[in-house]
Amino acid sequence: MNNRFISVLSALLFTALAVNIVHAKSDNFSTQQLSQVESIKKDALESDLAWSLVESLTTEVGPRMPGTPSDKAAVAWAVAKFNAMGFDKVWTEPATFPKWIRYSESAAIVSPSPQKLHITALGNSISTPKAGIQAEVIEFETLAELESAPENAAKGKIVFINYRMNRDRDGNGYGPAVQARRSGAIVSAQKGAVGYVMRSVSTAHHRFAHTGGSHYKDGVTKIVSSAISNADADQLHRLIALGKPVSININVQAKSMGEGTSYNVIGEFTGSELPNEHVLIGGHLDSWDLGTGALDDGAGVALTMAAAKLARSKGQTKRSIRVVLFAAEEFGLWGAKAYVKANKKRLNNIVAAAESDFGAGRIWAFESNVHANSLPVVRDIASMMKSLNVEYIGKNAARGGPDLIPFRPFKIPAFGLEQDGTDYFDYHHTADDTLDKIDPANLRQNVATYAVFAYMAANAKTRIIGKNLLTK
Ligand SMILES: [Zn+2]
């Protein structure tokens, strides 16, 4: 079946489900509010607002690497869109970060079977000399295997870690795989290597290499840090397995540019009764430079902006709804860290927070992380998501998106609106992260779910509280 047909079919199905639901009474919401939720859901499932936003962002702005002119254009884009959408307050807050840019990269097997490799520099990588570096490759299956190798095991060689990431709906393969990206160059240098290349943090079969943040450590020699596509990693592995020495050339030209500045962009619909208390939803505005950052995280930006607008469409909500588009997430959560620092005294005003940063797949589950006293409200919200095929996990242990990590010490009420990420790591951080990978029907289902969440958390009779409050 083609996507368009599936879109039409699922839109019809949702509409049919939405109109047939009869709701039980709730202590937290009036009957009128519950019928407004149904109406918002229906509108969201017919709305192309999120699509038009992500289309505009990825087309008119394109890639949004922190600190570049395109990133600046994205900030201006977000301010203009928030204003055009009628948000009551729109503002920016600065964030600084170590700036890095890529010029070029290439690689090839030099011997015994010369051929091109599809490679990307990892974020923060140093440059090689202009002619590149050339050396014999030594392969390890995992970062742990490299760590336990003897001193000088990789002396004068290029380390190749060939760890295969597993595919799963919840993306649990990413955590174990990403360690080799973050610190592979450090450990390789400690074992005497002159360069580092890894199999992409990826579940794909295509020939795109996946970039992403990497680090160096003071006192350890900096060596080039790079990743090849999975198909190229398989090829290299087969060649090495034949037993002859395999030499490759890697040429990366990139530069650290000192401190860069960007901005969190914030749009708020002001609440009628408790304007200081607010729901916080959002995504990150920046992206890597290889693709156009459609899945990561143009979708999250667009769907939370659209959801806030729909949640406000029945009139002012009791509490405010705030959309935060975080800066410089890809370089290390710099916007989120700056937000927490600048708003530390006001974090207790957050009644519910959720970040969308896992692509644009359907939301299949809802999870909370709140004080036990707030679980009845959470269950009411979850019950209104059922017709969207969203189940409540109920462990009350949501982690929130990456930009909510700096909020964790404050134990704000965090939520996970869990997307199906089965194919997310086929595209993540590649040149192939483009608009065509977003399914419009799935995007609308995301908007509907976020709109239900924002409307209900903003209007609940008693506010949702986090585990930081009323606990001993
Ligand atoms: Zn992201």
- Contact partners, residue 203, CB within 8 Å, separation at least 6: 165, 166, 167, 173, 423, 425, 426
Q: Can you tell me the distance from the alpha carbon of 326 to that of 70, in angstroms, rounded to the nearest whole number?
A: 15
Q: Can you tell me the distance from the alpha carbon of 56 to that of 50, in angstroms, rounded to the nearest whole number?
A: 10
15 pLDDT above the threshold of 80: no
333 C-alpha to center of ligand 1: Å? 10
Q: Do the beta carbons of residue 440 and residue 9 sit within 8 Å?
A: no
67 C-alpha to center of ligand 1: Å? 16
pLDDT of residue 5: 53
In this predicted model, what pLDDT tens digit does every residue of 61-100 receive, in sequence order?
A: 999 999 999 999 999 999 999 999 999 999 999 999 999 9
For residues 286-304, give the mean pLDDT.
Answer: 98
Token digits of residue 144: 């742990």
127 C-alpha to center of ligand 1: Å? 25
284 C-alpha to center of ligand 1: Å? 6
In this predicted model, what pLDDT tens digit does every residue of 225-280 receive, in sequence order?
A: 999 999 999 999 999 999 999 999 999 999 999 999 999 999 999 999 999 999 99
In this predicted model, what pLDDT tens digit does every residue of 175-230 receive, in sequence order?
A: 999 999 999 999 999 999 999 999 999 999 999 999 999 999 999 999 999 999 99
Calculate what percentage of the chain has a pLDDT beyond 90. Answer: 93
330 C-alpha to center of ligand 1: Å? 7
In this predicted model, what pLDDT tens digit does every residue of 119-128 receive, in sequence order?
A: 999 999 999 9
- Reduced to 3 states, what is the DSSP secondary structure of residue 9? helix
358 C-alpha to center of ligand 1: Å? 7
25 C-alpha to center of ligand 1: Å? 39
The total of other beta-carbon atoms located within 10 Å of residue 244's CB is 10
Residue 472 pLDDT class (50, 70, 90 cuts): very low
The total of other beta-carbon atoms located within 10 Å of residue 423's CB is 16
300 C-alpha to center of ligand 1: Å? 8
Instruction: State the DSSP H helix or E strand holding residue 428, giving kind and residue range, or none if neither.
Output: none
329 C-alpha to center of ligand 1: Å? 7
In this predicted model, what pLDDT tens digit does every residue of 309-357 receive, in sequence order?
A: 999 999 999 999 999 999 999 999 999 999 999 999 999 999 999 999 9
Q: Do the beta carbons of residue 349 and residue 276 sit within 8 Å?
A: yes
Q: HEC string of 31-71?
A: HHHHHHHHHHHHHHHHCCHHHHHHHHHHHHHCCCCCCCHHH
Instruction: State the DSSP H helix or E strand holding residue 82, giving kind and residue range, or none if neither.
Output: helix 69-84
166 C-alpha to center of ligand 1: Å? 19
Q: Is the peptide bond before 112 cis (omega within 30 degrees of 0)?
A: yes
In this predicted model, what pLDDT tens digit does every residue of 386-409 receive, in sequence order?
A: 999 999 999 999 998 999 999 999
pLDDT of residue 26: 84
pTM recorded for the entire structure: 0.93
Q: Can you tell me the distance from the alpha carbon of 251 to that of 104, in angstroms, rounded to the nearest whole number?
A: 8
Token digits of residue 251: 């040429």
296 C-alpha to center of ligand 1: Å? 4
pLDDT mean across residues, the chain: 95
Residue 18 pLDDT class (50, 70, 90 cuts): very low
pLDDT of residue 2: 52
Q: Can you tell me the distance from the alpha carbon of 7 to that of 238, in angstroms, rounded to the nearest whole number?
A: 42
421 C-alpha to center of ligand 1: Å? 12
Supply the Cα-derived Rg of the chain in whole angstroms. 23
